[in-house]
Chains A and B, each alone.
Chain A
Amino acid sequence: MSVSFDAETLWLIGGVIALLSVASVVGWRLQRRERAGSGQGVDQDVDPSKRAAVIANLNARIRAWWVMIAVFVAALATGGIGSVVLFALLSFVALRELITLTPTRRGDHRALFWAFFVFIPVQYGFVAGGWYGMFAIFIPVYAFLFIPLRSALAGDTQDFLARTAKIQWGLMLAVYCVSHAPALLMLQIPGYEHEGAKLLLFLVVVVQLSDVLQYVFGKTLGRRPVAPTVSPNKTVEGTLYGIGAASLAGAGLWWITPFSPLGALAIALAITCAGFAGGLVLSAIKRDLGVKDFGSLIEGHGGVLDRIDSLCFAAPLYFHLVRFLYT
């Protein structure tokens, strides 16, 4: 796979940087107003200390976005292999966060060693080599059958089914699903050769923008919670407006994709809905484990898995939609 930056890619990256610059200025002004203590024109019902915490968190998130975008663009710029390595590392850290919080037993040690040091490199090796057949089945067939075998050989049968399921589900979310993002670079679309980087950019920009917009609309207009027992911060208003606005933005980006404007809208809608589903499911896992965040690696956001939760669901759906409809 080889990938090159063209004018369209640079325009899109420039647009993202412009958007983030605006966000930085807004965050800075909000903080200055908060420090000045005036708080004019803001909702006086809200507890001031709570509002200050939200603004501080907002600015931490924006700072982290600068770093994340720099890393992502640098990875894209190296061509295909940089993206594969970046997502492999993300999978590694995400699986680490998930398994750290998930109770496993001594008998799972060897199985977990295989998961981290064999299955992740091999899966991303298939991505780098563009071997679609093995990429698609390696984890669901070979890894999923090997994991319980290795744990069974260790001889401990207590909670065996639950332990096996936890490791398999971790591999599924953190490795298999995430690996579909760089796998976009292996798709051969007629008339769109060597432009896979933009396909990946479209996925990441639309899904992450949807997350951001759901957060922004949720904080400003959100009233009714979607699933209060799962994720108290997700609101009906935030979700609908966020998904709608991000889908429209996706349609507006049709020029970097092989899709028509209407096609881009439909695909953006599908992946933002999948992204919402990913966020909700990963929140349910966090509630089950009794934690607020998966980690603390990304300032303001939590762990890596907190940031890529929506990608976990959106990437495989997007990959297969594009592969089915356009190759």
Chain B
Amino acid sequence: MTAPRASARLAAGLLVVLTRLVTGVRAHGPGVAELAAAGVRQRVYFANHTSHLDALVIWSTLPPAARVRTRPVAAQDYWDRPGLRRWVAVDVLNALCIPRGAQAARDALHRLDAALGAGDSLILFPEGTRGDGDALATLKPGLHRIAERHPGVDLVPVHLENLSRILPKGEVLPVPLIGRALFGVAIRLEPGEGREAFLGRARDCLLALRAQCAGGARQAGAAPCP
């Protein structure tokens, strides 16, 4: 990884400020206490995906020390296109672009392995694409493979709330509502746990965070979720 250019670093700082202003997001949830140590531990944040803001929001809520080592995983066909998209994704956020589709799965996993092998943390959306904000799709098996091949890496569930209302799929202009990022406690692959069981458990973690949010946390960001 080459050192980012000054313009990209400046843009990254501006994006963090802008993201916080537009979404009002702060980190909440049972995993917040672990975030302070996020700079030293290698982690994979996996979250529900409803908006282009998702990766930015998680990235912005991380402590700065963790941010420089954390790369959003992005779809190559969408983000690695000439112009603004590539500049934001690749130059500013240092995103790891991977190809989508069954044929390219091996290539995608190799790139994830390489990044994790190099010590990077990742932000991953295991649903594979953006949803409408209501239903949570089943998780793609890539998350299980990462858990299997990198047992020392923390897998941190993150539930993002309201971002589908702030910038839904297909819209360019945001509505500045107050979003939330709920960090759960890190999980790992249990001994003898199969693929389906693990992916189901990971999905349940996201759903549990959402359920916690639906009750107490509708307090407009007041008390942090339990």
Contact = CB atoms under 8 A, between A and B. Distances in A.
A96 B24 contact: yes
B150 interface: no
Contact of A116 (B171, B176, B218): B176
Interface residues of A, number: 24
Contacts, number: 53
B40 interface: no
Contacts of B218: 101, 289-291
A21 interface: no
Interface string A274-296: 00000000000000011111111
Interface in B161-195: 162, 165, 168, 171, 173-178
Contacts of A96: 24, 176-178
Interface residues on B, range: 10 to 19
Contact of B220 (A100, A112, A113): A100
A168 B220 CA distance: 20
Given A104-B165, A109-B168, A109-B171, A291 B178 contact: no
A304 to B, nearest CB: 11
Interface in B206-226: 218-223
Contacts of A296: 219-223
A291 B220 contact: yes
B178 A106 contact: no
From B24, B165, B218, residue with most partner A Cβ within 10 Å: B165
Contacts of A291: 218-220, 222
A112 B168 CA distance: 13
Main secondary structure of the interface of A (DSSP, over half): helix
Contact of A100 (B132, B168, B174, B178): B178
B127 to A, nearest CB: 18
A96 B176 CA distance: 7
B175 A116 contact: yes
B165 A97 contact: no
Contacts of A225: none
A302 interface: yes
Interface of B: 24, 132, 162, 165, 168, 171, 173-178, 218-223
Interface of A: 92, 96-97, 99-101, 104, 106, 109-110, 112-113, 116-117, 289-296, 302-303
Given A291-B222, A296-B221, 7 more contacts: A96-B178, A97-B178, A100-B177, A110-B171, A113-B175, A117-B173, A294-B220
